[in-house]
A and B are shown apart, each in its own frame.
Chain A
Amino acid sequence: KAGVTQTPRYLIKTRGQQVTLSCSPISGHRSVSWYQQTPGQGLQFLFEYFSETQRNKGNFPGRFSGRQFSNSRSEMNVSTLELGDSALYLCASSLASGTSGQQYFGPGTRLTVT
């Protein structure tokens, strides 16, 4: 099976702009989680989607949002970008539905905000 894919792999944006990142899970996986990775804060959970519904949300401001489509592909959006949003954004897909299960990460999108 093909692994988790993310597009684009690299992005450079200016403060105040918005950005949309995309994640395609492993075929058959209906759960997609998003994480932010920075040198200072490490890996932090953003949100999780399952069957087009957000089931969990981390402690991020409302500028961070996401959605999931009927084919399980997911997007996350960051509006009004700030310098501190520069990070590697990782998505992970899982076959598990009713409880936590193995999550497989995509290669990430490296976002740089200038």
Chain B
Amino acid sequence: GENVEQHPSTLSVQEGDSAVIKCTYSDSASNYFPWYKQELGKRPQLIIDIRSNVGEKKDQRIAVTLNKTAKHFSLHITETQPEDSAVYFCAASPMFSGGYNKLIFGAGTRLAVHP
């Protein structure tokens, strides 16, 4: 079935360090991969996304890479700041179920950035 695995479940870094979160998806026809940040008590916020025809995308301190052959994608945050502390979710949009706006989410990574 459709599945997205996300690692690690928790990540603790010092301010200024880099953080990397990795996800693996099962549906090889998935074509859209967003990342969401959810702060405590708030809604998930889209921070970056990538489509299957692109290998890498950057937006300031955030970058996402996609390896279609291995069916995995990663979120990279550089120069982390305390306000980056949150739960990060990866997601994939499977095609076998009709695609469209259906997202399968990973279990989340709780990132803590210590000053």
Q: Which residues of A contact B (CB under 8 A)?
A: 31, 33, 35, 42-45, 48, 50, 55-56, 58, 90, 92, 94, 96, 98-108
Contacts and interface: CB of A to CB of B under 8 A. Distances in A.
18 contacts: A33-B101, A35-B103, A42-B107, A42-B108, A43-B105, A45-B102, A50-B100, A50-B101, A55-B98, A56-B97, A58-B102, A92-B101, A98-B100, A99-B32, A99-B99, A99-B100, A102-B49, A105-B36
A103 B46 contact: yes
Interface string B13-52: 0000000000000000001101010000011111001000
Interface string B82-104: 00000001010100011111111
B43 A101 contact: no
Interface residues of B, number: 25
Contacts of A56: 97-98, 100-102
A51 to B, nearest CB: 12
B43 A105 contact: yes
